[in-house]
Structure formats: structure tokens, C-alpha cells
Structure 1
Amino acid sequence: MTYFSRTKLHSDNYLIKKASAKVAISFLFLVCFFSFHLHAVAQPRNSTIRLGSSLTPTTTGKSAWLSPSGLYGFGFYPQGNGYGVGVFLAGVPQRTVVWTANRDAPPVPRTASLVLTTDGRLILQSPPRRDVYIVTDASQKIAAASMLDTGNFVVFNSDEDIIWQSFQYPTTSILQGQHLSAGMELFSSVSETDQSTGIFRLKMQHDGNLVQYPVDTPDTAPYSYWSSFTDGKGDNVSLNLDNDGHLYMLNSTGFNIKDLNTGGYDDTNRTIYLMKIDSDGIFRLYSYRLDRNGNRSVIWSSTSDKCAPKGLCGLNGYCVDVDREANCICLPGFAPVIEGNFTAGCERNFSSDSCKSDDGTIQYTIQAAENTVWEDNGYSEVTSTTREECDTACYEDCNCEAAMFNDGKCTKQRLPLRYGRRDLSNSNIALIKVGIYSSINEPRKHADEPKDGNGKVHTDILIIGLSLIGFAIMVLVISGALILCSRVFRYKRFSTDSNIRLCEIVAPISFSFAEIVAMTDNFQEEIGKGSFGTVFKGTVMLNGLTKVVAVKRLDNISNQGEREFQNEMRIIGKI
């Protein structure tokens, strides 16, 4: 009996536990169902981009496909005088571009369109240009696409598998949940408004080191300007960014080998974080507040020295730190290639066709840029010298365009010089060979010795030349005035002497000009032309009879024409 009661009690307990488990499972199912339902309701419609969908950059049309929350957008953004295509932050007032497609292609006009074609191609159409593929390496045909709330733009095949995603091809930025794998690089943009490839890069090297370089340089230490100093940590080290702003590096086993920024910031939906290599060559970690103001803050940067990026001031320019801001200055005798664009570098403002003039005198002077450091590409070294001897060595060498002098060591250089910056702790002096003509027109801020007498000589020559030119112009004006007066005088003398006396030698009678006009009816009927005039038909009353006469009128007023006319009259009178 006791056994039966215990068995029954055990059976009842089992039934109670089983019923409780069913209730718990049912409750969990209901919670999951309602959570899924609420999540589905929260999703905006048409978050999936279907075949046949298209975008245009005009404000009246649909210019971007947004993520479900509207935080990110994929589509057109303003670029120069047209538009580019990429992923950008659409949920904050500052529309920051985080990924760019075909970034070095020219901007497209407002008539362009972005199309997910019915045959599974994502292309940019801009007639009369050829179609440009946005997704070029998808292994299969595209069946659909989506802009995710993570900032990742993805495309799917017909089985709804991801076959391509923008996170695999970063351009300037790393977003939350994204990583930069070994061998991958980020490239800066030209500027905040021009997303074309700039002049700096950040590379996750296969040796585990994260390094910054100028573009088009070897991956070697002399060209780097920032490093994580994690070389030797393995082949599969990656750079990662978490939702709380934690920026760190993991090796292939998932072990954290270095924290660049420890994070621990707001990881709610009110703030997002992104890492970006900026156009000035520094990569920074930003936070964006997802509120009405959309404030952006820098919470970490690779360096605070804005002159650290090599090549910031272009060729023949060097960077000077002024109140923690980068200021670019050209070498003596040089001027900016593009005013306002310091990365374009500097060019000579004098001619350098020949090292020496015809009489063998050197046409250059040496000017200095002190406490500046440069890439050393010397072709000849002069040891155990003074600065004056280094000046002279470059001054007398036609192949020498510059020289570096530091602690008794003189190295001759050829232009252009690059990666220049001022470093007050470094005693290096850049000695630049400058044409003497350039020193007349510009202040010698970097010269360390007074100007010699050549400038005064050339100023005197310039004054004499201008005086001779002015005198020649004055002579030409006076000569022209005399010639004009002479011609006017001859014309007046001839026109006022109407009674030309020919009757003293020949028979013809002289007439006044008014009588000739009357007899030819104001020179109406032309009957021929002579050497110096035109012959007209006329009538005249002589001795009560009307006579038909020929009247010749001179066309040109000249002494020769007058003499010829008189000779002609004498000959006619003798017939």
C-alpha cells in the first residue's frame, strides 16, 4: 500500500512537471511569436530590392534604397558637378559617405540611373556612356538586394544566399561589425566632397602589423608614418570595430593582440561608430549621435600630429605645424601648382633651361629651408664640409638642384623633393638652387645671406629697356603726325588753286571747277579711264556754239599726278 501511494505520488509529480513544461513551452512560443510579429510590423515595406528596381539622382525621384531603419542608404550622392554611387549615412544631417562604387570614375549627370535589371545585373546607366557594373565579381546572377541596418549592402541569389557584400570591399571606412582582414587596405579620399582615391592608405599587413603609408610606395618602414607595432603576430590578424566603439586587433585564434581604443561607450541605438582614414592621412574613430542634431565627435585618432602623414604638402612643399594645424609652404623659388590645393605640391617659378649663361656666369643663388627633413635621394655625398662649402659644391654643379646639410655631411639632391616637414629638433638644412630672376619678384623668407649686386644690375637693365621702348614709340607718333600734315597741306593747295594757267604755252582755255561740274552735269557720264583719273563726257558753249568735250578728273592728289596731267594737256593742245 505504501508502495502504491509512493508510486502514485511520483506519477502525479511527473504529470505536474510535464504540464508545467508544456505551459512554459507554450508561453515561450507565444513570446517568440509576438516578438517576431512586432519585429515584422516594425520593418518598413519594400526593404528588399527586387529585380527591375531603379534609382535616379534627381530630388523628385527616388535617389537611394534605404535600410529598414533609414539609417543607411545605397544610391546617389553629390560628387563634384554630378553624382557618385555608394553607401552613406542617411539618418543624420551630415551625409557621410562610407563606401564608394567605382570611386575613380567621373561623376555622372542627373540623367543617370542605377538599375537592378531583370536579368540579374546591378548597373549604372548614363547614356551615351557604356553601362558600368556596380557588382562586378558576383559568382551568380543577382535575384535580389538589400541595404542592411549595419551599413552593409548585400546581394542574393535565387536561394537567398549572400553572393556579394560591400563589407568585403571597404574603401575609406570600417563600420560596426565589419573588419579589415590581412592584405586589405583602406584609401583616403581626395577631400570630404570628392570621394576619388586620395594620397594615403592604411594596410593590414600579413605580418600582423597595421601600417599607414603614402600611396604608390613599397610596404617598407622608410615610407610608413604610423604603425601599430604588432608585426610578427601572425598572418591572419584583422582590425575590428564593435558596437560600443571598441577598436581592436585579433589574431587567427581570436585572441585580442592590441586595443587601439578600449570602447565602453554608449552601445544603444542612440549612437553609432565608424572608423575612417581621412583625406589628411590620419585615421580616426567617430561617434554619431542619432538625434535631431546628429553631432559627430572624434573619440580616437592614430596621431595628433597633423604633419605626420608623409606627402601631405605634395612635391617640393613641406609641412609646418602652426597651432596644431598643418600649414604647407613651398621651397624657395617655388609656387603652388594649384592655389588652395596643397597636396598638388609646388613648381618652380623660374626657368631652369640652362645651368650657365652664354658668358659662363652661373645664373643661380642658394637659398635655405632650415630645420626641414625630407626623403633622402642623394646622388653624391661631400663629407667633412662646412655649410659654405656645401653651398659652393651645389652652386658649381649643374646637376645639383638641392643639397641637404646636417652635422658636416653634405648630400647633393635632384628635384623633386618629397615628404618634407619642419622639425625644430632636427638640424638638417635644405639648400635650394634658385634662379636669380625669381629672387627679384619674391621676398627671400628662407634666405640666410643678403642679396648680392646682381639684382640691382638687372633692375637697371630693365629701366633702360623700358626707356628705349618709350622713346621709339614717341618717334613713331611724331613721324606719323608729320606725314599726315604734309598730305593735308598738298590736298588744300591743289583744291584752292582752281585757275591753273595753261594758256601761256598751249591753246586750251582754263575753267573753274564749278564750270566743269556744270558742263559734266556733276560728272554723270563716264566714258573711260586714264593713268591718273577718270574721263567724263560734257558740253560747253564756245562762240555761241555747243561743243561736246571730254573732261578728265584726277583720282589721286599727288605731285606726280599733277605733272602728268599738265604734260597731257600740253600735248593735246599741240594737236
Structure 2
Amino acid sequence: MHLFLLLLLVISYSQPSSSSSSPNVLTQGSSLVVQNDNHLVSPNRVFTAGFHQTGQNAYFFAIWFSDTTADGQHTLVWMANRDAPVNGKRSSFSLSKTGNLVLTDAGQKIWTSNTKSTSPSQLQLLDSGNLVLTQIDTQSYLWQSFSFPTNTLLPNQPFTKDTVLISSRSLTNYSSGFYKLYFDNDNVLRILFKNDAVTSVFWPKPWLLATQAGRSTFNNSRFAMLDSRGRFTSTDNYSFVTSDYGPILKRRITLDVDGNVRVYTLNEKKWTNSLQTISKPCLIHGSCGLNSICTYTHESGRRCTCIYGYVAKNHSDLSLGCVPTFNLTEDRENYGFVKYPQMEFYGFDYWFKAGISLQECENVCLNNTNCKAFQYSFNAVLGFKCYVKTMLFNGHNLDTPFTTYLKVPKKSVSSFHQKAYAKKSELICSNSVIKLMRTYVETSGNRSIKFMLWFSLFIGVVEVACFLFLYYITRQRSGVTIDQSYVAIATGFRRFTYDEIIKASNKFRDEIGRGGGSIVYKGTLPDNRVVAIKRLHQATTQGEAEFLAEMSTIMRINHKNLIETYGYCAEGKHRILVYEYMENGSLAAKLGANQLDWPKILAIATGVAKGLAYLHEECLEWVLHCDVKPHNILLDVDYNPKVADFGLSKLIHQDAIKNSVFSRIRGTRGYMAPEWVFKLPITSKVDVYSYGMVVLEMITGRSPTRGQASDCNEAVEQKGLVNWVREKVYEKGDSLIEQHFKDILDPKMMDEYEHGEMVKLLKVALRCVEENKDLRPTMSEVVKILCNPKTDDYFD
């Protein structure tokens, strides 16, 4: 009996339950299991969804065309887990009884739709290739694959501001590659190249204005689609018609591994290219890696070749580029130049000057040990132009007026033969196959325990050895121990050296602001971008803590109403951040200066609310700013607001937001919520309170602390402005009339506001500064109120 029960246990453990659904529908509580090879099929039999093998013991949950091509392969159009293949045993795709789609890798959850349904729902693959989770009673979609494309769009699949296409890594490696198709904030459809070292937009041509490239920036709906006949239209005025326009059933538009967008049509079991966006592949950024040149012919296709004096870093992967066979640290007398006529390396100009002679341009490059080459050309307006390069990327020889002079050791100059170098170091595109090797054979318990003990001991010894080695190297080089918490987060941004910061800031000459923990200077980067350089105080521990907090935050943040960060410097004791420069400075400087009319005030209040709502509810992790005030709200040239300075913010996981604990009071006197003073639990409502104080200050023109004694506590100071406004507003009843506004509004704004909008904004501000945090709205509710003309019910 014991043996029988044990046998049943083993069988139930090793064989998960399969789907009890029909082939076309997955019902709640059912699963598709990888071992059983069961699928969902569209009613027209054109598309199939299920587990698809992509390598040895590696599977995607994907959607593909049911018919194979002439080579016997399926064409995938969507993947749930393209960057995390699952095992071929005990993996499943399930629709839970709560209405959530869950993909598990041998029992471990790796993907979910994050949906929930209180009524019956089902998963179905439609004739269009769209995998939809439908709420049966209302026939509404809880989730659909069309909203989360990978590298492919199907006919009539919407492409919006919330969707992106990301290329695959190679023809057989479907993980995320280097290219992204998306709508940018200017409402223009663009293609971006991004790897660990370089980020650049190359389509449309980056040196053209949107209108010059035939695009429009005036339609912010951001929508594009390929119809079933082969016509592509986009709200930025980009459109095309395929060469085989007509009623053909099977088409797809794909962002390919080489960064080109192509439309494919299935004819006689073979995909034929009916249109490609970029006709010259070598103009695609990243076509070849660093220090290499792209050439293209119709016969042999694209080819990447190392420049003279450089060799391939990895012959099986062209994206890794080439490395020099020499170093550039010797004296200038040891170097010369070899000439590449009609050769250009686009972008990454360290230095530029017009009207300069060839010899002067050479001297600039020779005097800079980081200079790898310079480009020289003639322009009818500017004359001769010199571009000094410290990075050689996007090399090509297609219709370019530039001549490139490559810096190499003098002994190599005489042996240079321009046509012979191409045979030396050619790169080949990688077609590697993903291999995911995992074993499910379990040994005895004692052997497993012994193995884990010895393995843990081995890892511990290796970690200690690595730590001691890094400590020794760090001490030898800088004499300062690098904070390990900083090392963990210092990724993802351009890291500037302190010398670069010195040059960009002109030795910290142009101060544009200062606070308790930092000074901000105006600067200019080598690419002529004007920036704000924030230098944290070196002598305080608090300065370094603020730096680390900001770095942890800005790695996760991207919103048009939040300040953009270009990079940082962490060298020795220096802690510096490089931000975008805001032409109109801070909101604090504009208050009381008669420069804010009613439209600007309303736009600033709405924009700040959107930025804070993103921090609170739309980031990967929720973020509290904790120091919302006019000094931390910056205005660009059009007075669009951007929230800045996350130095006092704290990241909080969403499931811990209600029980957050702060080690010290954060914020600025006059804008702090009562929770700080009375040591109550801190939530996102502290930012809501500060936002309300800022809005009241904009409306009344009065500081939150005006007219209060200096020895009053925080609660009394803030109560002054809030109670004064409430008394003025409601002294004659709840209805807001013109007399109320005349009593409280900033005199500079009299008779310039719209009554209904002003009533709404004032009521929002007063609701935000309620002492009881539960009575305050969330920032997303504030955005809905300010952006929706029909929100009067909120105040009832």
C-alpha cells in the first residue's frame, strides 16, 4: 500500500495536469503543458499558439504561422518569454481561476499577464493572430498579445505610443536585440540602436528636422498600422504601399536583426520581401561594431571589415567590432595617419571646427591620446571642416564627402595598402543556437547535501578571493575604497570623468543654483548640449547618500514631466550628476515675478501632477519624491514643467507602500505633510500634500510660511496659508464666487483666469492639503480631475 501511494505521488509530481479545454479555447483552471505538445489554434487554422522549441531543452510560449515554410521551419510572430526560455519538462502556460495568465518554468513563475477577473473568462487565438483573454459576459478583452508585440506586427495590428518592436539578437537567437521601433515624444516614428556602449537614433536621418524628413509632429495620437492589402499608414505622415499590394492573406511587418523594417509576404511556402524601409543597409547604425567598416553589394550582401591596424574581437559576432593591435598612449611623434577617401564614421565627434587647415586638424588629433582618427571635408559655406573622433562607429563609404585619416603608429603607415586590408579581418554574423541544459535527475539526499555544502564552500572561497583582489587593486590605484553599494547601481548611464566635468563646466564658473547639499552649474558637453551639472558636497556623508538614492531612482524613470539625466561622475570623493538644462529655471524664481499667467499656471499644475503620478504608480517600483516644492520644479523654454531632484526620495516596493519607514524627516519646511511632524506612517500622500501647497502658492502668490513667527513649529506654519485660504473661500458658504477669488488670488493674475478651471484647481489643492491623508486624492486622481472637464462629481 505504501509503495502504491508512493508511485502515485511520483506520477502526479512528474506529470502536470494538461489542458481540459478544446483546441481553440483555454478555460479558467486549465493549462497547456510543454511535454504534451498541446496548442491553441485559430478558427481559420492560420495561426497556432503554444510551446515552441528554440534550442536544446529551450522553449518559448509563442504564436506562429501554422504552415511551415519550404525549409520546414515555423515563422514566429509573438513570444511571451523571448529573453527567458523555459525547460522542456514541467513547464506550463495556465489560465488561473482568478483570471490571470501564468507561464511557469518547471514550477517557477517567470511571466504573468497581471490580470484579474471576477466573472468567467477564457483565452482564445483569433483569426487575426491575436491571442486574447476575454471576459465572457461582456466580451471585453482583459489582455491581448497585440498590445505587447515582440519584433513583428500582423496586418491590422495597431502600433501605438505604448508599444515598441525590438529586433531579435540573431536569426536563431530570438532574445531582445539592439534595435527598437517606437513613437518618440515628438510623435514621430523612429528606429533606435542601443547596446551597452552606444545609443543613437538613425531613422529618419537624425540630422534632419522632422518636417525635412517628411514627418509631422502635430498628431499626438501616435498610431500606425499595416492593413491586410499592404498599405502602411502612420499619424506622423509616414506611409508606404508594398510592391505586391492586394488581397493577400499572409503578411507580416518585422524589425529584423539588422535594424531594417521589412514587410514579408508568403508565396509558395517562402517569405518574400515586398518592402524595406532603409534601402542602404550600411546606413543603419550598428550594422558593424566599433572600429569596422560596412560595405554592401547585391551579390554578397552586407560585409563588415576591420579598419587598418585593428583585428576582430570575435569573428563569429560582428556586433563586437574590432580592437587595435597597438595602444595610443605613446608620444605624438610615434604616430602618423593613413587616408581613407570618401569614408565616414557617423557621430561621436569629440571636437569640431570649421575653417581649419589639414595640418592644424592633424595636430589636434596628435595632441589628444584618445583621438583615433579625424574626418576632413569641404563645405561651400563653412569651407574646410575638421571632426576629431575618439570613437569610430557606423563606418561606411556611401555618398559621403568626408575623408577619414586614421591614426596609427608611423611604422605601419608605409605598409598600408588600402585595397589589401579588407582580406585580413572580416566579421561574420552570428547564428548561434540557444542551449539551455538542465537536468532533472535527482540523487540521494545525502549526496545532494554534500554537494551543496562543498559547492557553497567553493563559492565562498572564490568570493573572498575576488573581494581581496578588488580591494587590493582599488587601494593601489586610488587609495580610496569604493563603496560597493555604488558599484552595484552605477550602470546604464554615461559615466563622465572628473576632467570631463571640469571642461564641460568651464571649471565650475557659471553657478545657476544651490541647495543645502549641492551646487548646480551650467555647462556644455562636447556634442554642444547645454547641461546642468549638480555637484554634491564632498565633505558630508549625506551628500553621498543623496547621490546613491538619486542613482537608484533615475535608473528606473523616464517621463516627459521628469528631468532627464545624461550621466554622472563618481571619481574619488566627487559625486556629480549631469542633467538636461532648463532655460526658464525653477518655478520658485518665477513666482511673484509677474511671468506666470493663468494658462501657464494650469499647465504647470497639470504637468507636475502627471510626473508625480508616474513616480507613484507607473514606475517598475513606486517612488516617493519627499521634497516637492517650487525649487524642484523646473521650466523649459516653453514653460513645460519637469520635476527634479530626487535626492531625498526613497524607493518603495508596491506591496510595502502602506508600511514604509523612513529613518529621518525628509522635505522642506512649509511643504511637509503633517505625517512627518507627528511621526505617522509615510505614504505617497506626503507628495500629494506638498503638491497641494505648491498649487496654493501659485494661485495666491503667498509663501506657505509667510506671516508666521520664526519659532512656530512646522504644523502651525503650514496651517497659516491653508486655513487662511479655507476661511476666505468658505466664509460665505460652499459656492465659490468671484469675490472669493478677489480676496485670495495673486493680484498679478486678476481677471485673466477661466472661472470653472480655477474653481476646479482650487478645490483640488484644498483637497490635497487635508490633514487626514485618507481624505487626500492620489496623484492619478488629480490628473484625471484636471484633464477631464466633467469631474464635478468628485467634489460632491
Query: Under a length normalisation based on structure 2, what TM-score does the superposition of the two structures give?
Result: 0.43
The residue correspondences of 1:267-278 to structure 2 (distance < 5 A) are: 267=247, 271-278=249-256
Deviates more, 1:131-140 or 1:366-375: 131-140
* Shift of residue 177, structure 1, vs aligned partner: 1.9
**1:572 aligns to what?**
none
SS of corresponding position for 2:53: strand
**1:568 aligns to what?**
none
Q: Unaligned 5+ residue runs, structure 2?
A: 1-20, 379-383, 422-796
Q: CA contact under 8 A between 1:212 and 1:226: conserved in structure 2?
A: no
**1:10 aligns to what?**
none
1:261 alignment partner AA: V
Cα deviation 1:333-354 (Å, max 9, x = unaligned): 22222213212222223344x3
* Shift of residue 297, structure 1, vs aligned partner: 1.6
Question: 1: CA distance between counterparts of 2:119 and 2:291?
Answer: 50
Question: 1: CA distance between counterparts of 2:371 and 2:243?
Answer: 53
Match of 2:81 among 99, 102, 118: 102
Question: 2: CA distance between counterparts of 1:139 and 1:219?
Answer: 43
**1:184 aligns to what?**
163
1:186 alignment partner AA: L
Question: 1: CA distance between counterparts of 2:166 and 2:25?
Answer: 30
Seen in structure 2, the aligned counterparts of structure 1 residues 71 and 377 have a Cα distance that, compared at 3 Å, is: same
Match of 2:178 among 199, 202, 210: 199
* Shift of residue 381, structure 1, vs aligned partner: 4.2
Seen in structure 2, the aligned counterparts of structure 1 residues 166 and 394 have a Cα distance that, compared at 3 Å, is: same
1:348 alignment partner AA: P
- Does 2:395 correspond to 1:427? no
Match of 2:294 among 319, 331, 345: 319
**2:229 aligns to what?**
244
Cα deviation 1:138-167 (Å, max 9, x = unaligned): 677883211112110111236353200011
Deviates more, 1:205-214 or 1:236-245: 205-214
* Shift of residue 54, structure 1, vs aligned partner: 3.1
Match of 1:115 among 77, 93, 104: 93
**2:281 aligns to what?**
306
**2:59 aligns to what?**
83
Seen in structure 2, the aligned counterparts of structure 1 residues 163 and 335 have a Cα distance that, compared at 3 Å, is: same
* Shift of residue 118, structure 1, vs aligned partner: 4.1
2:393 alignment partner AA: R
Question: 2: CA distance between counterparts of 1:437 and 1:274?
Answer: 53
**1:395 aligns to what?**
366
- Does 2:262 correspond to 1:284? yes
Q: CA contact under 8 A between 1:406 and 1:428: conserved in structure 2?
A: yes
* Shift of residue 265, structure 1, vs aligned partner: 4.2
Question: 1: CA distance between counterparts of 2:293 and 2:209?
Answer: 18
Cα deviation 1:433-489 (Å, max 9, x = unaligned): 23468789x9653799xxxxxxxxxxxxxxxxxxxxxxxxxxxxxxxxxxxxxxxxx
Question: 1: CA distance between counterparts of 2:305 and 2:241?
Answer: 34
Cα deviation 1:181-222 (Å, max 9, x = unaligned): 235322221222222222222223464532323234469966
Q: CA contact under 8 A between 1:207 and 1:234: conserved in structure 2?
A: no
Q: CA contact under 8 A between 2:42 and 2:48: conserved in structure 1?
A: yes
**2:338 aligns to what?**
367
Q: Unaligned 5+ residue runs, structure 1?
A: 1-43, 252-256, 449-575
Seen in structure 2, the aligned counterparts of structure 1 residues 125 and 244 have a Cα distance that, compared at 3 Å, is: same
Deviates more, 1:211-220 or 1:145-154: 211-220
Seen in structure 2, the aligned counterparts of structure 1 residues 67 and 265 have a Cα distance that, compared at 3 Å, is: same
Question: 1: CA distance between counterparts of 2:83 and 2:207?
Answer: 24
Q: CA contact under 8 A between 2:352 and 2:385: conserved in structure 1?
A: yes
2:321 alignment partner AA: G
**1:445 aligns to what?**
418
**2:792 aligns to what?**
none
Question: 1: CA distance between counterparts of 2:375 and 2:295?
Answer: 18
2:418 alignment partner AA: K
* Shift of residue 319, structure 1, vs aligned partner: 1.5
SS of corresponding position for 1:379: strand
Question: 1: CA distance between counterparts of 2:364 and 2:323?
Answer: 24
Q: CA contact under 8 A between 1:206 and 1:234: conserved in structure 2?
A: no
The structure richer in strand per residue is: 1
Q: CA contact under 8 A between 2:191 and 2:203: conserved in structure 1?
A: no
1:230 alignment partner AA: R
The residue correspondences of 1:159-178 to structure 2 (distance < 5 A) are: 159=137, 160-178=139-157
Q: CA contact under 8 A between 2:147 and 2:163: conserved in structure 1?
A: no
RMSD: 3.5
Seen in structure 2, the aligned counterparts of structure 1 residues 447 and 284 have a Cα distance that, compared at 3 Å, is: closer
The residue correspondences of 1:509-548 to structure 2 (distance < 5 A) are: none
The residue correspondences of 1:19-38 to structure 2 (distance < 5 A) are: none
The structure richer in helix per residue is: 2
Q: CA contact under 8 A between 2:338 and 2:413: conserved in structure 1?
A: no
Question: 2: CA distance between counterparts of 1:243 and 1:381?
Answer: 49
**1:54 aligns to what?**
31
**1:157 aligns to what?**
135
SS of corresponding position for 1:427: coil
Q: CA contact under 8 A between 1:333 and 1:439: conserved in structure 2?
A: no
**1:340 aligns to what?**
316
The residue correspondences of 1:426-505 to structure 2 (distance < 5 A) are: 426-435=400-409, 444-445=417-418
Question: 1: CA distance between counterparts of 2:120 and 2:412?
Answer: 62
Question: 2: CA distance between counterparts of 1:399 and 1:104?
Answer: 36
Number of paired residues? 383
Question: 2: CA distance between counterparts of 1:447 and 1:297?
Answer: 36
SS of corresponding position for 2:250: strand
**1:143 aligns to what?**
121
* Shift of residue 258, structure 1, vs aligned partner: 5.8
Question: 2: CA distance between counterparts of 1:375 and 1:54?
Answer: 51
Question: 2: CA distance between counterparts of 1:399 and 1:150?
Answer: 54
Q: CA contact under 8 A between 2:179 and 2:193: conserved in structure 1?
A: yes
Seen in structure 2, the aligned counterparts of structure 1 residues 226 and 168 have a Cα distance that, compared at 3 Å, is: farther
Choose 1 or 2 for highest CA Rg.
1
SS of corresponding position for 1:109: coil
Question: 2: CA distance between counterparts of 1:72 and 1:225?
Answer: 41
Seen in structure 2, the aligned counterparts of structure 1 residues 317 and 334 have a Cα distance that, compared at 3 Å, is: same
Seen in structure 2, the aligned counterparts of structure 1 residues 177 and 412 have a Cα distance that, compared at 3 Å, is: closer
Q: CA contact under 8 A between 1:182 and 1:204: conserved in structure 2?
A: yes
* Shift of residue 410, structure 1, vs aligned partner: 2.5
SS of corresponding position for 1:307: helix
Question: 1: CA distance between counterparts of 2:83 and 2:135?
Answer: 28
Question: 2: CA distance between counterparts of 1:54 and 1:171?
Answer: 23
Question: 2: CA distance between counterparts of 1:347 and 1:139?
Answer: 55
Seen in structure 2, the aligned counterparts of structure 1 residues 205 and 391 have a Cα distance that, compared at 3 Å, is: closer
Q: CA contact under 8 A between 1:200 and 1:214: conserved in structure 2?
A: yes
Query: Under a length normalisation based on structure 1, what TM-score does the superposition of the two structures give?
Result: 0.59
Seen in structure 2, the aligned counterparts of structure 1 residues 388 and 219 have a Cα distance that, compared at 3 Å, is: closer
Q: CA contact under 8 A between 1:143 and 1:158: conserved in structure 2?
A: yes
Seen in structure 2, the aligned counterparts of structure 1 residues 397 and 264 have a Cα distance that, compared at 3 Å, is: closer
Q: CA contact under 8 A between 1:212 and 1:225: conserved in structure 2?
A: no
Q: CA contact under 8 A between 1:56 and 1:110: conserved in structure 2?
A: no
**2:674 aligns to what?**
none
**2:240 aligns to what?**
260
